[in-house]
Amino acid sequence: MLRFGRVVAALAVGVFLSAGFSDAAHADVLSTEELRAVQAKLKASDYLSVDLVQTKTSPTRPNRPVKSEGSARFAKPDRFVWTIGDPINEQTIFDGSRLLKVYPTEKVGVRYRAQGTESQELKRIVDLVLNMDSLFDNYVLKQAEMKDGVVNVQLTPKAANEVEQVDLQLDTKLNFIRNLRFQLRTRMILAIEFRNPSRDPVPGSAFDVPPGIKLSEMK
């Protein structure tokens, strides 16, 4: 079974300094109410398309991060397609009811249970990126600071899990999450850097399985 670290590593991870995002000098500290106001602006659109860079940094090889590039498309409430490689070598798709991991070159894919651990963990990430409601539902706010229109937020999970800390960076000018960084209890660093946001509608066909893919079921 896929664990959180493997799932997120397959999905996401952008380039961040291990010290985090925040530059405390000349930054304004935000209250929870002020952060909620920023959150409300991010919820205004039903769609988001972005380019991305993902990186995985192992505690045993901190100077040799694994980096990949790709794109992601989201549609409320929880649909997404996450594409890695050019040409495409891996896609993760959630169409609202089923989670699929697809390898177009090999023409194979795996289907996971919609209510399984893997699906729930991925939907939690999508909530942070698109819905933002889970920000206060599932995480405790440790710190939020704004500088030059960018809000740096540090969170810890309310319930114990494999994630020790989440850092995210909100762009208040373009109204999207620019960076998302996970620190796992294993000391693995997983993060996402999003670029070139678009709010144009994403067609339903974007979440379809590519033609010719042979799917197997994950028990």
* pLDDT per position as a tens digit, 133-175: 566 777 888 989 989 889 999 989 888 878 899 898 988 888 8
Q: How far apart are CA 53 and CA 72, in angstroms?
A: 10
Retrieve residue 134's tokens: 């889970």
CA distances 171 to 34, 127, 160, 161, 218, Å, are 14, 17, 28, 28, 38
Q: Whose CA is closest to 48, among 189, 216, 199, 170?
A: 199
Grade residue 1 by pLDDT with cuts at 50, 70 and 90: very low
CB 182 within 8 A of CB 190: yes
Gap between the Cα atoms of 141 and 157, Å rounded: 9
Mean pLDDT of the chain: 78
Is the pLDDT confidence value at 124 over 70? Answer: no
Task: For residues 123-142, give the mean pLDDT.
Answer: 70
Predicted TM-score (pTM) of the model is: 0.74
| Domains present along the chain, CATH in parentheses | 4-214 (2.50.20.10)
User: Quick one: which of 189, 208, 204 has its CA closest to 15?
Assistant: 189
Split at pLDDT 50, 70, 90, the class of 102 is: very high
